[in-house]
Amino acid sequence: MRWHLQGGHVIDPACGRDGPADVWIADGHIVAVGTAPPEFTADRTLALDGRLVLPGLIDLAVRLREPGQEHKATIASELPAAAAGGITTLVCPPDTQPVVDSPAQIEYIQRSAAAVGGPRVEVLAALTVGLEGTALAEMAALRDGGCIGLSNGLRPVANTLVLRRALEYADTLGLTVHLHPLDPHLAADGCAHEGAVATRLGLPGIPRAAETAALAQILALVEQTGARVHICRLSTARGAHLLAQARAEGLPVSADVAVHQLFLTEDDLEGFDARCHVLPPARTAADRAALREAVASGLVQAVCSDHQPHDEDAKTAPFPQTEPGVSGLETLLALMLELVGQGVLDRPTAVAALTGGPATVLGLDRGALRPGAPADLTVVDPDTTWTLEAQNMRSRGRNTPFLGRRLRGRVTHTWVAGTLVYALEGGR
């Protein structure tokens, strides 16, 4: 299908575009932006009337729950939700059941995704066998099997010597290691930020030091090994400060933050709302402000959904016994646009954190609308207002604290490799 997207407003920070421009697509690639290609005949012309045209969103953390937890979600249920959110590439962490510590598991996920169609699925493979943190995974085989990087998921490698060897091995293979800065002993069985709210509610807390102590350890090992490390889900002002110091010293580190951390604070736990049970926990307003500034300054290159769909039972126990996580695919872009509307971010910075930034983290030639690039793109009506309602969500997981929230800006079309994979029913 040859497309002519006519009259849109292209925002492509990677190419320095922010203004009216037409886009032409053929053979799965961007043919031209701005200036019509010679002798191009479109099979279909779509009049956009000033809607935003963005590179397809790249989400660094999406749990598809398959294999092993199909009662929560499946690849078939979550890929359409991603497409509806404008996401064209998503990264699946290795903590499935069984763990992604063999090429066979990578092949299973990618084949299942290809059978469903829609957004591209990249896989993070296990850093250690079974995510147990003791024996290194067969990294070379995992790389050859198609993994995009390595991670131990939410199970930190407590043995620093094992982590050092893992970083050294990954570095020889050219693989980026994605690490969650969370000290398991300091975090213990905590479920909330250690502070006044947790104390008043009687909830076991997770101190900021659980993040900063682990982060300092990781950065020391990066300095020692020179390995490329991506820091997953920053949640504290002090963590952002440590990251800034490391970047200033030239260490090869990048970082992301979950979009809900740019909105939620510890105060949202009042009433024991389990939809606000996340890991790392929602922290103070000062931490939230620091994270927003880190994204605005480009210190944090990527914002992700940290999508973790749950069945209803997972969120209905007493708060400490509920499972952490938010279903976030369908609100990622809208929430970022809300930050633009609040003046927290400018529009190019918000788009970069969802496109070019994560593409750079992954080392992928995506996240831009340059001629010759894959035609992964999304169209957004910035003026449409809508309310997030459980019955209208495409994800099987309805566990989000943003239910009932009035949002502005909605995806109307999503293309992956030039194929239209989502069109808003009744949309312009």
Q: Check if the beta carbon of residue 424 is closer than 8 Å to that of residue 412.
A: yes
Q: 386 burial class (0-12, 13-18, 19+ CB within 10 angstroms)?
A: middle
What secondary structure, in 3-state letters, does 11-75 show? EEHHHCEEEEEEEEEECCEEEEECCCCCCCCCCEEEECCCCEEEECEEECCECCCCCCCCCCCCH
The number of helices, as runs of H, and strands, as runs of E, in the chain is 12, 18
306 assigned to active site: yes
> Which residue matches tokens 């990048």?
254
Q: How many residues does the chain have?
A: 428
Cα(159)–Cα(163) distance, integer angstroms: 6
* Tally of CB atoms within 10 A around 173: 12
Question: Looking at 306, 313, 365, 381, which residue is catalytic?
Answer: 306
| φ, ψ at 325 (rounded to 5°) | 135, 155
The amino acid sitting at 217 is: Q
Structure tokens given for 147: 């993994």
* Tally of CB atoms within 10 A around 15: 17
Give the containing element (helix H, strand E) for 122.
strand 120-126
Cα(81)–Cα(76) distance, integer angstroms: 9
Exposure letters 156-166 (e unless 16+ CB within 10 A, then b) = bbeeeebbbeb
Active site residues: 306
